[in-house]
């Protein structure tokens, strides 16, 4: 099966396509190569966000995936150094490739420091343009997220046998612990606060932690995003980051007021093999705990719940989620291919948030320990600040104001 692209407008009847996307079901998509040259395999997903492509491409939660952008105008504001989400070099975000609809134009934004093409080349990310991304999204909705391989060769010489071999060798994401690919390997501190709107003399600045006594927070890095750390700091937290392999004894030795469990990629059950014992040790000491995304799934696993692979996942910045505690509906950013099975939640885990798209679980709170978590990304600001209250809720928990 071949998914046609708009070849008439491009004159591809005279020029060989320089990029190819091959799906596990045999679907072949041809287009123009963009970004890095080469071949990369990954799980194909789609993202419906209209803005934030740089944050998406540098979000470590996308490790092992090829991202299809449904919004056609990607790259038009270029790339800057402030909007990178990964703590490591951007290539360490783990994104395997990107699929775009329209040709990427030269950047037109006062914050841009280089083009998307140059940035993708510098960080080894293969991309393809000229694809009917809406049709590709419909295919993923119908059949689920397939394994795929993407290739870019400027001379049009693409080895189909090599593509098939790469695709066959890709194990998929189920059963895969991808946290070591993107997480921290050593302890470090963080003191940068939230970004402020530009003034007359500065192009935008990051704030500092508010004055006054700070809450000591240990953040566990499963693929931590920068803006999460910034909002923890802005909420009055003194943050120390530890690797995902940290033990409960190592965490507790820092005498934290609270523990934060970060976002991250891969199969939560695989990461839970070493992450769950640490979380259980922290919960036993009743240390206030807050989790986001993979951290939400880790907390659920730590109390005996199960996670499951989703059909198409949730990837976008327009997802409605209801906070069952307040009754309010938030517009949130989602990025996950696994979810917590609500039917497996134990009696001491109360569901606090639910997706209004498909009814899946989006948050829990423990009734016998000071701990809660959400599946979505409250720091991503799609609402734009609908979910920022969760950071305040965490501070209140550390103050003992919430049971």
Task: Look at residue 25 and tell me whether its pLDDT is greater than 80.
Answer: yes
Task: pLDDT band for 402, please (50, 70, 90 cuts).
Answer: low
Catalytic residue status for 284:
no
Catalytic residue selected from 166, 293, 314, 330? 293
Looking at residue 15, its pLDDT comes to 75
The percentage of residues in the chain with a pLDDT greater than 90, rounded to a whole number, is 83
- Asked if residues 21 and 149 have their Cβ atoms less than 8 Å apart, the reply is yes
HEC letters along 162-228: HHHHHHHHCCCCCCCCCHHHHCCCCCEEECCCCEECCCCCCCCEECCCCCCCCEEEEEEECCCEHHH
For the segment 129-181, what is each residue's pLDDT rounded down to a tens digit?
A: 999 999 999 999 999 999 999 999 999 999 999 999 999 999 999 999 999 99
- What 3-state class would DSSP assign to 325? coil
Looking at residue 200, its pLDDT comes to 45
Task: pLDDT band for 204, please (50, 70, 90 cuts).
Answer: low
As a residue count, the chain comes to 403
**Rounded average pLDDT over 278-292:** 98
For the segment 340-386, what is each residue's pLDDT rounded down to a tens digit?
A: 999 999 999 999 999 999 999 999 999 999 999 999 999 987 777 88
Query: Roughly what angle, to the nearest 10 degrees, separates helices 268-284 and 294-302?
Result: 60
**Rounded average pLDDT over 324-331:** 94
Catalytic residue selected from 32, 166, 330, 379? 379
Give the start-to-end residue ranges of the domains of the chain.
7-169, 179-398
Catalytic residue status for 319:
no
Domains 7-169 and 179-398 share a fold: no
- Asked if residues 264 and 292 have their Cβ atoms less than 8 Å apart, the reply is no
Residues 6+ apart with CB under 8 A from 215: 235, 236, 237, 238, 257, 258, 395, 398
Task: Look at residue 19 and tell me whether its pLDDT is greater than 90.
Answer: yes
Looking at residue 4, its pLDDT comes to 45
Catalytic residue selected from 123, 353, 377, 388? 377
Calculate the average pLDDT of the chain.
Answer: 92
- What 3-state class would DSSP assign to 348? coil
The percentage of residues in the chain with a pLDDT greater than 70, rounded to a whole number, is 92
Fold of 179-398: Rossmann fold (3.40.50)
CATH class of 7-169: alpha beta
Structure token pair of residue 294: 């993979």
Task: Look at residue 403 and tell me whether its pLDDT is greater than 60.
Answer: no
**Rounded average pLDDT over 315-332:** 94
> Tokens 């006062």, residue?
110
Looking at residue 122, its pLDDT comes to 92
For the segment 71-126, what is each residue's pLDDT rounded down to a tens digit?
A: 999 999 999 988 899 987 655 578 999 999 999 999 999 889 999 999 999 999 99
Looking at residue 7, its pLDDT comes to 44
Structure token pair of residue 214: 């700070």
- What 3-state class would DSSP assign to 296? helix
Catalytic residue status for 336:
no
């Amino acid at each position: 099966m071949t998914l046609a692209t708009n070849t008439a407008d491009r004159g591809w009847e005279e020029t060989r396509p320089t990029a190819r996307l091959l799906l596990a079901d045999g679907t072949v998509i041809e287009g123009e190569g963009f970004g890095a040259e080469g071949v990369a395999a990954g799980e194909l997903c789609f993202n419906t966000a209209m803005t934030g492509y740089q944050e998406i491409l540098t979000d470590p939660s996308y490790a092992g995936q090829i991202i299809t952008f449904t919004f056609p105008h990607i790259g038009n504001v270029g790339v800057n150094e402030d909007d990178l989400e990964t703590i490591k070099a951007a290539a360490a975000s783990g994104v395997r490739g990107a699929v775009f609809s329209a040709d990427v134009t030269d950047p037109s934004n006062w914050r841009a420091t280089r083009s998307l093409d140059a940035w993708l080349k510098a960080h080894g990310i293969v991309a393809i343009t000229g694809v009917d991304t809406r049709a590709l999204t419909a295919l993923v909705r119908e059949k689920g997220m397939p394994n795929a391989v993407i290739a870019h060769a400027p001379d049009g010489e693409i080895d189909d046998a090599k593509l098939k071999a790469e695709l066959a060798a890709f194990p998929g994401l189920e059963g895969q612990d991808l946290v070591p690919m993107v997480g921290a390997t050593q302890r470090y501190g963080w003191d940068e606060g939230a970004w402020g709107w530009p003034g007359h003399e500065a192009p935008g600045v990051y704030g500092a932690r508010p004055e006054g006594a700070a809450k000591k927070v240990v953040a566990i890095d499963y693929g931590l995003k920068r803006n999460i750390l910034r909002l923890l700091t802005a909420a009055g937290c003194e943050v120390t980051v530890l690797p995902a392999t940290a033990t409960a004894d190592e965490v507790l030795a820092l005498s934290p007021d609270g523990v934060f469990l970060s976002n991250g990629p891969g199969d939560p059950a695989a990461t839970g093999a070493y992450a769950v014992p640490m979380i259980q040790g922290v919960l036993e000491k009743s240390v206030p705990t807050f989790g986001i995304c993979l951290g939400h799934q880790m907390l659920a696993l730590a109390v005996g719940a199960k996670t499951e692979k989703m059909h198409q996942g949730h990837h976008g910045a327009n997802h409605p989620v209801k906070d069952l505690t307040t009754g309010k509906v938030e517009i949130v950013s989602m990025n996950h291919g696994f979810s917590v099975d609500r039917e497996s939640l134990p009696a001491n885990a109360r569901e606090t948030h639910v997706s209004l798209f498909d009814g899946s679980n989006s948050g829990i709170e423990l009734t016998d320990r000071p701990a809660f978590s959400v599946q979505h990304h409250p720091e991503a600001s799609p609402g734009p600040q609908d979910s920022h209250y969760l950071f305040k809720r965490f501070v209140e928990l550390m103050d003992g104001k919430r049971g």
